[in-house]
Amino acid sequence: MTDSLRERLEGFLRWYHDLYGGNWYVENRETLEALLRGEAAAGGDSALEQFHRQIQDCTRCPLGKTRTRFVFGSGNENAEIMLIGEAPGRDEDLQGQPFVGRSGQLLTKMLARIGLKRQEVYIANILKCRPPNNRNPEPAEVDTCLPYLQRQIEMIQPKILIALGKVAAQTLLGSEAGMAGLRNRLWQYRNIPLIVTFHPAYLLRNESALEEGVRDLQFALAQYQKNQPR
């Protein structure tokens, strides 16, 4: 077995054990493969997974025709911390998972800096399908797709939301403010505390802002911890 396969397998076993304890629910090869791809509760009957299946063939907007894969979201369905990006990019469109490209790798490292693993949080986007050439989402696409994310948030019931970048923040907050007005404040989205930070793609282009981005995540974590029962 190669080191990378062993690492993935060990990670998977840890994640699976965290999620299901000692019970094994793997029924078939597709289920196991889906679990290995990190799709929470794959093959199971969780309400969130049922919802995924219901909407995964969506063609309610033109992106349904141009996408390769529908990117529902990934992570721990019981996560108390949920991160929301803008829309799938090329890698996400190909793999059907959010934040798996370069931005995603940076996001994973930033989460690690504040002591979080990706499998502890849930990650989704404002749009479920990739806009061609990664252009900004059109308002009509956002209006069409947003109810899916809203339903996901209702189902996951996170204790804190982290909006990654201006598009996610402005959409969720119904604001036109720029990043300077959005960061460093505690917002509420439907009674859930929300913190805004830079999009990881921005940080890839502006490395000098990285530490500020990590501080934003620390701020979000501190807000979350403050509201935890002792």
Residues of this chain that interact with ligand URA (CB under 6 A) are 85-89, 92, 98-99, 103-104, 125, 201
Token output for 205: 């282009």
Report the alpha-carbon angle 70-73-74, nearest 5: 130
Q: How far is the CB of 138 from ligand URA (least distance, A)?
A: 15
Whole-angstrom distance, CA of residue 73 vs CA of residue 84:
9
Residue closer to ligand URA (CB basis): 13 or 112? 112
Whole-angstrom distance, CA of residue 129 vs CA of residue 163:
18
Buried residues in 136-165 as b, exposed as e (16+ CB within 10 A):
ebeeebbebbeebbeebbeebebebbbbbb
Residue closer to ligand URA (CB basis): 43 or 64? 64
113, 184, 212 from 215: Cα distances, Å: 10, 9, 5
Residue closer to ligand URA (CB basis): 16 or 202? 202
Q: How far is the CB of 169 from ligand URA (least distance, A)?
A: 12
Alpha carbon 203 to its chain's center: 17
The residues with which 162 forms a beta bridge, in sequence order, are: 83, 195
DSSP letter at 36? H
Residue closer to ligand URA (CB basis): 44 or 118? 118
> Is residue 196 within 8 Å of 216, Cβ to Cβ?
yes
Q: How far is the CB of 71 from ligand URA (least distance, A)?
A: 6
Q: How far is the CB of 61 from ligand URA (least distance, A)?
A: 17
Q: How far is the CB of 136 from ligand URA (least distance, A)?
A: 11
Residue closer to ligand URA (CB basis): 75 or 85? 85
Residue closer to ligand URA (CB basis): 44 or 171? 171
The residue whose Cβ lies closest to ligand URA is 85
Q: How far is the CB of 197 from ligand URA (least distance, A)?
A: 12
